Amino acid sequence: MADENNFADDQQDDAGVMDDWAAALAEQEVAEASAAQAASPTVKPADIFEHFDTVGSRAGPAQNIDMIMDIPVTLTVELGRTKIAIRSLLQLAQGSVVELDGLAGEPMDVLVNGCLIAQGEVVVVNEKFGIRLTDIITPAERIRRLHK
């Protein structure tokens, strides 16, 4: 009789363990289904978004360019360049002359953030140096120079 009771208890324990496993598997299936649903993005029709062409027509071109007008850029006027050894560089003193590859009277390059945009000549205005632009580089020419 004791064996029968032990057998019945074992069956109940096995049933309890099986119920626990079934519950755990069901819980895992629910978690996997919700994870798969969260991983797939919700696709919405494009007509609910605002059209860009209507935004541009309201803002106007002047307002669009105003957004970038206060961005600082670095303007550089380049007289010429040269390569020099460190030994020669260390020997430079006040009054030393460094020869550049640019010729006297040759137009100087005007660069914005390192990109050539124009060429010009040196002028003195109110005892300050300036540059008079003599040639503006076209956008097509700038692109062509980038590919060199």
Report yes or no: 117 and 110 within 8 Å, Cβ to Cβ: yes
How many CB atoms neighbour CB 110 within 10 A? 21
CA–CA dist 121, 106 (Å, integer): 8
pLDDT at 40: 62
pLDDT in tens, the chain (148 residues): 545 555 455 555 555 556 777 777 788 888 777 766 666 666 666 665 555 555 445 555 656 788 888 899 999 988 888 999 999 999 999 999 998 887 778 889 999 988 889 999 888 888 888 889 999 999 888 888 777 6
> Distances from the Cα of 83 to the Cαs of 42, 77, 88, 114, 145, in angstroms?
59, 18, 10, 18, 22
Distance of alpha carbon 109 from alpha carbon 119, whole angstroms: 5
pLDDT of residue 56: 47
Identify whether the C-beta of residue 132 lies closer than 8 Å to the C-beta of residue 120: yes
- Tokens read off for 43: 């696709």
Residue 53, both tokens = 């062409």
Specify the DSSP element, H or E, that contains 81.
none
Strand order from edge to edge, sheet including 108-112: 75-78, 108-112, 115-125, 128-136
- pLDDT the model gives residue 59: 52
DSSP 110-123: EEETTEEEEEEEEE
Strands (E), the chain: 75-78, 108-112, 115-125, 128-136
pLDDT at 37: 66
